[in-house]
Structure 1
């Protein structure tokens, strides 16, 4: 059977049970029948790798097999086409026939750039079976523009990337965006851009349509409608009137499609001559200009004055909305009563645009509404606050929160019965809430909104830039008003945002200041979580003694299972290990009592790791047997990979090397398929040690170098020490003693600097073996004694036993 045939057979076997894991053995049988290759699992892995490169669907590695996840059709995000679009025939023909990767449409506001771009996108969309992406970048709006990072986050999620897998660095986001587009034909519509940004795909087969008021390379620049085109538009709306009146209307609307559209809506139940009399009236002379054109202002004025009073009031309020769009509930919050009817009047008058259940204002209309004047949208901010807080509590009820102010009872409150409902609301309103934070200025609602969004940002660390932006605005407001508790809260939020972005050095001073301010205020409720997180930052930076001290102080205020577990993890590096086990057991007991399902699984695995370090392998077996049935998709692929790696390490210690290799490769595939560098590094390291024991030394060295590269890339000191120690052992067995000494010495320095005393035991023991192989018995004995002392102090009993046996030989 050819490779192509085997590839097709594998695809059929997976597709036959799409969405369900297919056992490795069943796949091997489907591909090779009764004549499998000598190394069936490696051959299957190689075939899966090739299949992943040749299909759009995703192949997920499970513990016992592979699962085909059929990707839904590509994104379909184009706005609806205007049924009454007229004119632009030459521009449409030229743009449709163009093969350039960027189709730029430019011109002044209200000229119809978006309408043409949408019409063009619908005309050519069949060329792009991979889907269509769309974003209004709001580059010229009164409120904040949509950033590249915000748009990339939306696009990547639409292209099937899990929020947890979206990188934090914008350069990496751009590369992931382009990698997801490669091999696909996708149309990208970028409306209201200020420049040609990285959102332009720059990928073969993909095309971007870009609209802008600014000059762009290769642009098609629009002019106002011709007399004939404008007249055709009036015909479409069945606007009656004399030819002279129609000509005058077109002139007074400055031939602008937007102004004509609003006039057409206004004329649905009026005679043209009466409308023109109003349009020519003296009130027009008093109007402020919009974009230098009083005629457009006058068109807006007449439509506005024709509205019922409630609709007029709502329109003025809507100009104050800082975000890009809004729902009926937001309008209701602003109005103080049900806004459905007045919002319908605004949509009918073309003063508000509606797309399904979302509404927005054209930039010119927003500017017009602002000039009409309205009070600050306090009720809108309060509406966002009450619902963001409720959604955050649904996502993470345990997170420490600031006390909410008294909020009006009549604010619309969304039903959020479960986590998906809460996430749906936050996904929709996230950018609007952040815009509200920035617009609110130096007042308490600023930090209250920023605090309410923290649970969501913790859930979706991919939005770390927005997180930091909101928290920084809240911090500034708190400092301006002298609110020490709020300042501490915002510093803690900033620290957490930096931490989730792996920016530990930046996070440390934020938490140090938050801890200091909470102590100053004697606010123990806030001090406890600040100390816990302060400890974790120290842990990540390798300051283990400081980490343990902060966590112990946090536990002295309130004993929480997550803080106990974190202290246990610190002690797995710092020692003593018997205390790590004690903390882990306490955390497990509290998790069981509080019915924390995920916490129980995590604590069980943590105890397996602690006993692994001690060398109590019967206990490792017991805890792994308990945790393995609890590994579910809800706990994430990282946890699954970590449990697999622990099982492989136990099999290695038990001498079951073939099984250890198989399980370790499963762990590696799960981690690699989800770009989990920590568990990839651990799996490579363990696999290399298994291969060394199997006398496959070249493969072992290769695996350990991969582990080292991943460790250094991710800044994982613990994994780096482990990888360097393994490479030292590889080269010692190979007889390359100088190289072995170099690797072990470097590992010892890193372990010493990072206080990684538990992991330092095998490092120093390896140094003893290298010196012994070099014939330096005195230095070998010095290192052995040092390793033995470390093993006793940290509680690595199995290593202590081995080192005593070495002395006895």
Structure 2
């Protein structure tokens, strides 16, 4: 059978059970039948690599086999087409017939750019079978516009990139965006853009439709509707009346579709002649001097003035809403209303044509929002404060369930109560649904709301992988706190920023942020939290003395407050890991056991899993592999039970090391591959580097470790590279000793002995390993010494 036939046979075998793992043995039989190769598993891995290069489907490595995950359908984000769309056939024909990669539609506000863009997108969507993306960039709206980085993050997530894998750097985002589009045919619709930017895919086969009020290259600039088109729109809106009255309405609305639709909603139960009299009245419009903006505003004004007083008040207050769309609860909070009254009044605004409805979500056209914000007056600040109070109270309640281990600022006294959640899943669901508006709310919030809302969101945004949004809210919260001279909020924001920088591997920046925060702390608890985090960065960069000092002080300060034992448990974990890195393994286990007892007493599934994981790692270093495996498997089950999938990559890596050191390389490889996949999914770069070491992709491990400033993984890779390179082995021993990496010292000395055949060095490694109870190193050193010939050439005498 040819190689191509074998690849096809493998694909058929996997596709026959798509989504389910197929055992290695079954796949070997499906490909080679009764004549398998001498080394079937390596041959199967080679074939899987070739299949991955030839199909779009994902081939996932499981513990006992492979499974095929079919390529999901592309995103389909186009809004619904307007049922009453009329005219624009000339423009549609020109745009649909163009082969330009960017179709730009420009024109004044209210002229129908978005409606034409959506109609065009639906007309040409068949050319883009891999999906259609849509973004409203809010380039001309009140409130914060969508930044290029935010937009790229949303587009990347829509293309299947896990949130944690979306980089913060714009250039890296752009490259990833284009790489995800290469080989695909995807349409990107960018509404309300101010310019052509990197959001336009510069990728063969992909296209973009862009709307803007500004001039753009290659644009089709819209004018108002012709009289015939405007008349057709009135027909669709079922506006009857004498021809002269219809013509006057069209003229008074300046042939603008937005103004005509507002008028149509207003005329649902009125006579056209009465409406015209009102539109002419009070000098609102001079038909001889009418311009588009004036026409739209006149239509808004007339519809607004005809509202009941309560609905008119709510409409004004919607002008301070910071997000793109809202729900009935948001409206009720803004208006200080019951949910029932809020729903009724929103319904009135929908029927008046001032609010657009899509399911249970509502939004205002940018011009209508601007008009509302101009009417809001003195009631606006109080309404915004109510909304921010509601969001802050609810976000804090959600965060306490979704990320209970995160230390937060003391709560603010608030004017409004928030929602209450029954379970962590409900809390996360609310945060997921409200993420965009919560980020926007931080950007418009006054002090101290900006800092407190950012503080409540930071745990969720970090652990969910929304690090671009996290970076934005922390920067906004810090600027707000600095402007107000609030050192408590500054400390919290700097602590959050340091943690983000640490997660991204920017260790120098993280140490600077934590150092500044430590200088500002005003309480034992906050100082303990900051020192704990700084100690972890020092641990990861090899400064074990500094780490021990910071983490020891953090534990001492937190013990002064016997409540909040979950946080004390987390600090004990961290202190134990430093003792472990110093090869003080029994002392490390003692701290882990204390943390385990606290977790069991508190019923904390996640903290218990963390303690079990750390105990397992310590036993692995001691060479007590059955104990290590038992604790690590229990930890993995705990993370799964607690819904903390982000904890699995490190557990899988350590299980892979146990398998490798107990003579099961195939299982080690399988576990390491799974660790690598999940580490990449959650953006855990340190675990990714460690998994690459187990997989023997040593050069890639060194490059990644150096890029993120994680010397531990680099040294572990060099331990393997140096086995046959005495120069590298000697350099590694110096590096380990210069940096006080006691856990790796015996291993490094033994590698140098193996590379040089130096028995004296092997004895030194043996003594170091015995003093630190590193059982695996002891066994390897003894094996090396046992294989050496006696010094006198092998003769003995009795």
Structure-2-length-normalised TM-score: 0.88
Aligned residue in 1 for 2:357: 354
1:610 deviates by: 2.0
1:765 deviates by: 3.7
1:42 deviates by: 2.2
What is the aligned counterpart of 1:710 among 704, 707, 710?
A: 704
CA contact (8 A) 1:561 1:588 kept: yes
Change (3 A) 1:629 1:403: closer
Change (3 A) 1:635 1:449: closer
Helix, strand or coil at the partner of 1:103: strand
Partners of 1:534 and 1:388 in 2: CA distance: 27
Partners of 2:38 and 2:60 in 1: CA distance: 24
Aligned residue in 2 for 1:390: 397
Once the two structures are superposed, the pairs formed by residues 539-578 of structure 1 within 5 Å of their partners are: 539-556=539-556, 557-558=558-559, 560-578=568-586
1:305 deviates by: 0.5
1:217 maps onto 2:225 in alignment: no
Helix, strand or coil at the partner of 2:79: coil
CA contact (8 A) 1:720 1:747 kept: no
1:435 maps onto 2:440 in alignment: yes
What is the aligned counterpart of 2:480 among 471, 477, 480?
A: 477
Partners of 1:16 and 1:381 in 2: CA distance: 53
Q: Deviations over 1:39-75 (max 9, x none)?
A: 2222222333333344444332222222333454322
1:766 deviates by: 3.4
Partners of 2:12 and 2:645 in 1: CA distance: 25
Aligned residue in 2 for 1:698: none
Pairwise CA RMSD: 3.1
1:294 maps onto 2:294 in alignment: yes
1:591 deviates by: 3.3
CA contact (8 A) 2:109 2:293 kept: no
1:47 maps onto 2:47 in alignment: yes
Aligned residues: 767
Aligned residue in 1 for 2:449: 445
Aligned residue in 1 for 2:562: none
Helix, strand or coil at the partner of 2:284: helix
Partners of 1:127 and 1:634 in 2: CA distance: 44
Aligned residue in 2 for 1:255: 255
1:763 maps onto 2:766 in alignment: no
CA contact (8 A) 1:717 1:750 kept: no
Point out the more displaced range, 130-139 or 582-591: 582-591
Change (3 A) 1:384 1:637: closer
Aligned residue in 2 for 1:405: 412
Aligned residue in 2 for 1:777: none
Partners of 1:104 and 1:234 in 2: CA distance: 27
Once the two structures are superposed, the pairs formed by residues 645-660 of structure 1 within 5 Å of their partners are: 645-654=653-662, 656=663, 659-660=664-665
Helix, strand or coil at the partner of 1:270: coil
Structure 2 gaps, min length 5:
560-564, 792-798
Aligned residue in 2 for 1:322: 322
Aligned residue in 2 for 1:530: 530
Structure 1 gaps, min length 5:
689-702, 732-739, 774-779
Partners of 2:616 and 2:27 in 1: CA distance: 32
1:350 deviates by: 1.7
1:799 deviates by: 4.3
CA contact (8 A) 2:582 2:741 kept: yes
Partners of 2:595 and 2:626 in 1: CA distance: 21
1:663 deviates by: 2.0
Partners of 2:35 and 2:495 in 1: CA distance: 61
Point out the more displaced range, 323-332 or 293-302: 293-302
Aligned residue in 2 for 1:190: 190
Aligned residue in 2 for 1:744: 729
1:535 deviates by: 1.3
Aligned residue in 2 for 1:580: 588
Aligned residue in 2 for 1:694: none
Q: Deviations over 1:307-349 (max 9, x none)?
A: 1111110111011112222111111100111311111121122
Point out the more displaced range, 219-228 or 34-43: 34-43
Aligned residue in 2 for 1:87: 87
Once the two structures are superposed, the pairs formed by residues 604-623 of structure 1 within 5 Å of their partners are: 604-617=612-625, 619-620=627-628, 623=631
Aligned residue in 2 for 1:417: 422
1:787 deviates by: 5.2
1:553 deviates by: 1.8
Aligned residue in 2 for 1:243: 243
1:614 deviates by: 3.2
1:339 maps onto 2:342 in alignment: yes
Change (3 A) 1:506 1:642: closer
1:283 deviates by: 4.8
Change (3 A) 1:148 1:19: same
Partners of 2:431 and 2:630 in 1: CA distance: 41
Helix, strand or coil at the partner of 2:199: coil
1:29 deviates by: 2.1
